[in-house]
Amino acid sequence: MCNPTPPLARRYAFKLLANMASVPVYLVMEAILPRSLGPAMYGNYSFATNFFQHLSGFLDMGTSICFYNALSRRQGETGLVGFYAGISMLVAAITLLTSLCMLVPSVGALLMPGVPLWLAPPAALWAFLTWWGRVLRSMNDAVGVTVASEMARAATSLFSAALLALLFAGSYLNIHSLFAQQYLMLGATACAYWLVTRRHWRVRNQTLRFRLTKEQTCAYRREFFHYSHPLFVQMFLSFLLLTSERWLLQWFDGSAEQGFFALSQKVSMACFLFVSAMTPLVMRELSIAWSNNDREAMGRLLTRFAPLLYATAAYFSCFTLAEGPAMVRIFGGEQFSAAILPVQIMALYPLHQAYGQLAGSVFHATGRTSVLRNIAALECVYGFGVAWFFLAPPQLWGLNLGAVGLALKTVLVQCLTVNLYLWLASRFIPLHFWRNVAHQAWSLAFLLLPAYACREATIALGIGERDSIWRFFVSGAAYSLIALVLCASFPPLLGLSRQDLRELLIRLKKSAG
């Protein structure tokens, strides 16, 4: 007997809980790694892994999204999994071969200036395992086993955090033991995802046919090529832009500034964890709605979830921006004091990242990948121009702002690009573009003011030292209470009407009962 797919709200709840369980991993890593490695080595680690992570993303060329959409629509078609396993092995081979080429001094010194070249192979393996785990996780979402998948991820995340803390406590944590710990975590997570999927197929008594006939292989090649070939240019340009801006920072300012930006980037990722749980699930529903030719349903999904996810991201981002000095002191220590301003700027990054993933999902779900390609080409032009202006020295017509400059570029360019995506999406599905733009502005102001007020009030009252953990948590508790009151008294902050809020409370009471 087939088990029904859990409703969207339940799957989101489990994804959110799993992401909350992942927060300790980020908090432990960001409280331990910068202190253990120092700004320079932390910057080297970040630069090397970032390069190969973007390389894996380029080699993906949107095929993982094609795989996700196809499996969402044809969940019993296990041949898709066998075909995509071949693509995965190709991505692994090219990524690892590239890392070996970088061991050649002339090549490595050009692509990774000032970074020990031996970091290339372990960083490449880390990047592939990270990408592969993401593919397996999306496969679970596609077949509707999100709940079991997220429970497995939560368990491995907590184990990983405990292992990292033990390494640090025993003075065994260095760059080598860090990679070993990461391989163990990523490998265990990937195995757990795969076991969940196999169990799902066995419960449904599906025949697992991973070996393909020549005709099936040709059919899959045509399907994936038709979907992904417009994305080649987009992925290539995105790869060039994202790697070149980090390369400029490394070339002009060195590994320490790279470390400051890396810390700010990790803090912004922690903020985004609570929002990222929803985006793949909404994308699945968008894909199904498009296959049913239901544009109204697509519009309702975006109208309901885009403001809600933005407000959720704003809740964390505003507090991070206000408490930037305390967060840097807690996670990085005094040697990372120059990272305060980059952390505060990058705190705003999750805001439009939430909107960007949802808006991009519209084009992926509808197969309009040529639009993504064209926007990527445009972003490459103005994105690199802004990066050069903020990072280059004055004699090369730049401001030489280092990590601050790259943080500014990242937030400003994303804000422009995401709103361009939203405007284009509103041209063919019922979506109120200007209402969403207005919500971005006033909801941010609503939450930013109480975040700063709580910080200043706790400092004025002398609750612990200025940037102590105790004062930080008291400020966070007060801010959370105020934010909860604001959301309850003014539901449009979440993109909801009062009727929507009442219905949501009724559902929660029924679930609790």
DSSP per position, 83-151 = HHHHHHHHHHHHHHHHHHHTTSHHHHHHHSTTS-GGGHHHHHHHHHHHHHHHHHHHHHHHHT-HHHHHH
Return mean pLDDT, the chain: 85
Report, as an integer, the average pLDDT of 385-413: 95
CB 363 within 8 A of CB 428: no
Q: Which of 4-18, 115-129, 135-149, 396-410 has the lowest mean pLDDT?
A: 4-18
Helix axes 403-425, 255-276, angle to 10 degrees: 30
Q: Is the pLDDT of residue 15 over 70?
A: no
CB 244 within 8 A of CB 384: yes
pLDDT reported for residue 477: 95
Instruction: Tell me which DSSP letter residue 367 carries.
Output: T
CA-wise closest residue to 175 among 36, 31, 32, 35: 36
Read off the pLDDT band of 153 (50, 70, 90).
confident
**Residue for token pair 């920072």:** 249
pLDDT reported for residue 1: 41
Report, as an integer, the average pLDDT of 385-398: 94
Higher-scoring residue by pLDDT: 273, 460: 460
3 state SS for 18-29: HHHHHHHHHHHH
Report, as an integer, the average pLDDT of 77-81: 81
pTM, full prediction: 0.82
Q: Calculate the alpha carbon distances from 447 to 244, 256, 318 in Å.
A: 34, 33, 6
Chain center to CA of 429: 25
CB 35 within 8 A of CB 332: yes
Helix (H) / strand (E) element for 341: namely helix 340-346
Residue pLDDT, tens place only, 175-230:
999 999 999 989 998 898 888 887 877 766 566 666 777 888 898 899 888 888 77
Most confident of the following: 34-48, 258-272, 300-314, 352-366: 34-48
Report, as an integer, the average pLDDT of 281-300: 76
Q: Which of 58-62, 175-179, 194-198, 437-441 has the lowest mean pLDDT?
A: 194-198
Whole-angstrom distance, CA of residue 451 vs CA of residue 41: 33
Whole-angstrom distance, CA of residue 150 vs CA of residue 169: 29
Q: Is the pLDDT of residue 332 over 90?
A: no
Q: Token digits for 429? A: 């599905």
Q: Calculate the alpha carbon distances from 392 to 40, 262, 453 in Å.
A: 20, 19, 36
Helix axes 369-391, 231-253, angle to 10 degrees: 10
Higher-scoring residue by pLDDT: 326, 275: 326
Amino acid identity at 282: V
CB 250 within 8 A of CB 21: no
pLDDT reported for residue 181: 92
**Residue for token pair 């417009």:** 230
Q: Which of 146-160, 278-292, 372-386, 430-444 has the lowest mean pLDDT?
A: 278-292
pLDDT reported for residue 340: 94
pLDDT reported for residue 205: 59
Q: Which of 278-282, 437-441, 485-489 has the lowest mean pLDDT?
A: 278-282
Whole-angstrom distance, CA of residue 210 vs CA of residue 374: 35
C-alpha dihedral, 435 to 436 to 441 to 446, nearest 10°: 90
Residue pLDDT, tens place only, 454-501:
999 999 998 888 888 899 999 999 999 999 999 888 988 887 778 877
Read off the pLDDT band of 25 (50, 70, 90).
low
Q: Calculate the alpha carbon distances from 178 to 32, 112, 263, 421 in Å.
A: 11, 20, 16, 38
Domain residue ranges of the chain, discontinuous segments joined by +: 1-229, 234-434
Angle (nearest 5°) at CA 247 between 244 and 252: 125
CB 431 within 8 A of CB 370: no
CB 422 within 8 A of CB 359: yes
Please count the CA atoms within 13 angstroms of the CA of 97 that sit on its side-chain side.
7
Whole-angstrom distance, CA of residue 48 vs CA of residue 262: 11
Higher-scoring residue by pLDDT: 146, 483: 483
Q: Token digits for 106? A: 């002339």
3-state secondary structure of 174: coil
Whole-angstrom distance, CA of residue 442 vs CA of residue 232: 37
pLDDT reported for residue 510: 60
CA-wise closest residue to 81 among 188, 200, 184: 200
Most confident of the following: 20-34, 68-82, 186-200: 186-200
Higher-scoring residue by pLDDT: 53, 361: 53
pLDDT reported for residue 150: 75
Q: Is the pLDDT of residue 512 over 60?
A: no
Report, as an integer, the average pLDDT of 252-267: 92
Q: Token digits for 19? A: 């992401």
Chain center to CA of 136: 16
Report, as an integer, the average pLDDT of 89-94: 95
pLDDT reported for residue 483: 94
pLDDT reported for residue 18: 60
Read off the pLDDT band of 368 (50, 70, 90).
confident
Report, as an integer, the average pLDDT of 3-32: 60
Most confident of the following: 8-22, 185-199, 307-321, 403-417: 403-417
What percent of the chain stands above pLDDT 70? 88
Higher-scoring residue by pLDDT: 512, 103: 103
**Neighbouring C-beta atoms of residue 79, cutoff 10 Å:** 19
Q: Is the pLDDT of residue 355 over 80?
A: no
Spell out where 12-62 has E strands: none
Helical H runs in 170-230? 175-203, 214-228
**Neighbouring C-beta atoms of residue 340, cutoff 10 Å:** 21
**Neighbouring C-beta atoms of residue 73, cutoff 10 Å:** 14
What percent of the chain stands above pLDDT 90? 39
DSSP secondary structure string for all residues of 486-497? HHHH-GGGGT--
pLDDT reported for residue 73: 79
